[in-house]
Amino acid sequence: MVQGVGYRFFAQHAAEKLQVCGFVRNLRDGRVEVYAIGASDHLAELRSMLEHGPRFSSVTQVREETAQVDSRFTNDFIITYDD
């Protein structure tokens, strides 16, 4: 749960820097969901960055799940507002 610290913008910037595609969004329960597509070493680096989060954030857990590639998110990394 990371709200009010720019976590979504942080995640987008980190993903773009690592050339990872996908999305980040807030969930109604206060958690943040990141869906990422990229090379395994880039995904590992993104996870590490997400575990630390932006300045003033307090990340207590990052849970990782395998997912199918969704072709809608293979070109860039966006902030989305639908859940």
The number of folded domains in the chain is 1
pLDDT bracket for residue 2 (50, 70, 90): low
The domain containing residue 29 runs over which residues? 7-79
- Residue 18: CATH number of its domain: 3.30.70.100
pLDDT for 4-49, tens place per residue?
A: 778 999 999 999 999 999 999 988 888 899 999 999 999 999 999 9
Sign of the C-alpha dihedral, residues 40, 44, 50, 53?
negative
Q: What average pLDDT does range 59-67 have in this prediction?
A: 92
N- to C-terminal Cα distance for the chain? 15
Is 2 exposed, middle or buried (CB count within 10 Å of its CB: 0-12, 13-18, 19+)?
buried
- Check: CB of residue 25 under 8 Å from CB of residue 83: yes
Catalytic residues: 8, 26
Residue 1 lies in a domain: no
Nearby residues of 64 by Cβ (< 8 Å), 6 or more positions away: 47
How far apart (Å, rounded) are the C-alpha atoms in residues 82 and 80?
Answer: 6
